[in-house]
Structure 1
Amino acid sequence: MKNPRTRVQGRRSTDSALAEIREDERVHISRELHDDLGQLLATLRVELTLLKQLPPDSPDAEAHLANMDSLLVTAIGSLRRIAGNLRPRALDEGGLYFALESLRREFEKRHGIRCQLDALRDALVLDESYSTAIYRLVQESLTNIARHAGASTAKVHLQRDAGELFIDISDDGRGIGVGDMAKADALGLLGMRERVAALRGSMNVDGGSGTRISITIPLPSGT
């Protein structure tokens, strides 16, 4: 049995690693704000400047207004996407189970891949940092399936037992070959491994028939 000091030190190490991941995500989002939303707003300002120089009934004015409307719609979509990347709203609305179920439905709708979520709602009541990290792990796994697997079905299984959370994500696609494993960063696995390591967990990837990712995460006492 671990002594209290060891548990506290382990939790501090986990919190520190998660803080580093959050900082990396903030840098990424900052770039998105500048490169995506910033450029859209700059273009919108140019359109507004040109519009001010035209008579109200000018045909060119109508064209500028239509373009501005399109830019605004795109900017709103970008803002919602960036806000969702900061923290999925579904996590705050209904917790981790609700967020994963929403993710599953959106995955099926967008990619046409049947996806099953197998988990107990009560087992997924976790604190904010763990909920967000686990959501991201499942999200990244499903993104990999959509991009690389060529699968028709996927399954996400989460089970909590004896102070640990077991996550199993599988698909019936082409599987990950040896060459793919060598370039794991290109398949999004490197970021997943870093996130799992930050939680002091373990991760195994089996690329035989389809792909199966098995993750074990120790949960802090009292969670």
Structure 2
Amino acid sequence: MESESSYHWSLPEVRIVVIYFVLASTWIVGSDLLLTKSVPDSSEVGVIQSLKGLNFVITTAVLLFFVLRRAYGGWRLAEKRRLVVIEQARERFRRLSAHIQTLREEDRTRIAREIHDELGQLLTGIKMELRLVETRLADREDRTLNPCIDKLVEASEMVDTTINSVQRISAGLRPSALDHLGLGAALREEAEHFSQRTSIPCAIEIDDYPETLPSEVSTAAFRIFQESLTNIARHAEARKIDSTFSVKDNILKLAIHDDGKGIDPAELTDPKSLGLIGMLERAENVGGRVAFVRSARKGTEVILTIPLPSVGTPPTVFA
């Protein structure tokens, strides 16, 4: 019991109440005595009582002010610390997300190269061997070998189909144009492939841009373009897509406009819209931003802007 009692007295709120009580009591009693002595005439008793009441109200208001100030000061400090913790957690999450995306792109690049180089070479070697056997069998005049030759031709055609699939899968993981020809060529190639897959015309206008762009910027812009086209094909019900890509005043700008039904504003804040969230994170990781605008013409416009460091290389015109 004794330890519990000492614990209660050690609480800060108990000490604050006791201190304020002693100070307020001392002030009220002392000021009331001074008022009584300063006005000895009994006819002024009503005035004295009024002054005492006013003194009590003022003292209470002052004490309440200090109590609330202390309470709200603690609350504001706690809220500020909470916001700092949230911001730190958000920054750690952003860095982790950027790191994961970087690792994912590195894995995609490695896998795409292994698929394209190793499997492509093996399949090409198999095709050459089949053609060699087919040629040698065809040189013989034994007609009983014709079914075997037909099977070899079919096998060679299957190898060709497999090579095309390998190239398609490799390009889906990481387009070679992005690493060898630059962002403009990769965007144009992706637009053409999208039109072939979906039968939705996708035109892209490419203005001047530097020969070399930071790898992470090129990757982010290409993936955002790719995700935008995927969202249009899934949800927009569009018949046409117009895009522009340019770099002016060290600002990369990529705009994708469709003539579909337009984006629902609720989707922009929906945590289930993982595609939109991914686009926003990719842009933020390279210091850019993505805006989703419901166009007045019709449909939706996705606008990506990324500030670039000063580039001294001359621009290349991509027709």
The equivalent residue for 2:262 is: 175
Q: Which runs of 5+ in 1 are unaligned?
A: 1-13, 34-65
Shift, 1:178, TM fit = 2.8
Asked if residue 22 in structure 1 is aligned to residue 102 in structure 2, the reply is yes
Q: Which residue of 2 aligns with 1:222?
A: 311
Verify the 8 A CA contact 1:87 1:132 in the aligned structure 2.
Answer: no
Structure 1 residues 27, 103: closer, same or farther in 2, change over 3 A?
closer
**% identity of equivalent residues:** 35
1:70-109 paired onto structure 2 within 5 Å: 79-109=166-196
Residue of structure 2 equivalent to 1:212:
301
User: What is the CA distance between 1:25 and its match in structure 2?
Assistant: 4.5
Aligned residue for 2:261, secondary structure, equals coil
What CA distance in whole angstroms lies between the structure 1 residues aligned with 2:95 and 2:168?
26
- 1:109 and 1:97, CA in 2 relative to 1: closer, same or farther beyond 3 A? same
Residue 109 of structure 2 contacts residue 174 of structure 2 at CA under 8 Å; is this kept in 1? Answer: no
Task: Provide the C-alpha distance between the structure 2 equivalents of 1:176 and 1:93, rounded to a whole number of angstroms.
Answer: 35
Amino acid corresponding to residue 212 of structure 1 in structure 2: E
- The structure with more radius of gyration: 2
Distance 1:150 1:210, change over 3 A: same
Change (3 A) 1:25 1:103: same
**Residues 99, 26 of structure 1: CA spacing in aligned structure 2 closer, same or farther, 3 A cutoff?**
closer
Conserved in 1, the CA contact under 8 Å of 2:242 and 2:257? yes
Equivalents in 2 of 1:153, 1:222: separation in Å?
34
| Higher deviation after alignment, 193-202 or 21-30 | 21-30
* Cα deviation code 1:123-180 (max 9, x no counterpart): 4641333222211111111111111111011111122222211111110001111333
Deviations 1:73-101 (A, max 9, x none): 88656643443244211223422212211
Give, in whole Å, the separation in 2 of the partners of 1:124 and 1:213: 24
Deviation at 1:111, TM superposition (A): 1.2
TM-score by length of 1: 0.65
Give the Å deviation of 1:110.
Answer: 1.6
**Greater relative contact order, per chain length (Cα 8 Å cut-off, separation 6+):** 1
Q: How many residues align?
A: 188
Q: Deviations over 1:31-62 (max 9, x none)?
A: 9x9xxxxxxxxxxxxxxxxxxxxxxxxxxxxx
TM-score for both structures, normalised by structure 2: 0.47
Instruction: Please tell me whether the aligned partners of residues 97 and 124 of structure 1 are also in contact (alpha carbons under 8 angstroms).
Output: no
Q: In the alignment, residue 102 of structure 1 is paired with which amino acid?
A: E
CA-based RMSD of the aligned residues comes to 3.9
Query: Runs of 5+ in structure 2 lacking a partner?
Result: 1-93, 115-153, 313-319
Q: Which runs of 4+ in 1 moved over 6 A?
A: 14-17, 27-31, 72-75
Matched with 1:162 is 249
Whether contact under 8 Å (1:193, 1:203) holds in the other structure is yes
Q: Kindly indicate which of the two structures has a greater share of residues assigned to helix.
A: 2
Give the equivalent residue in structure 2 for 1:131. Answer: 218
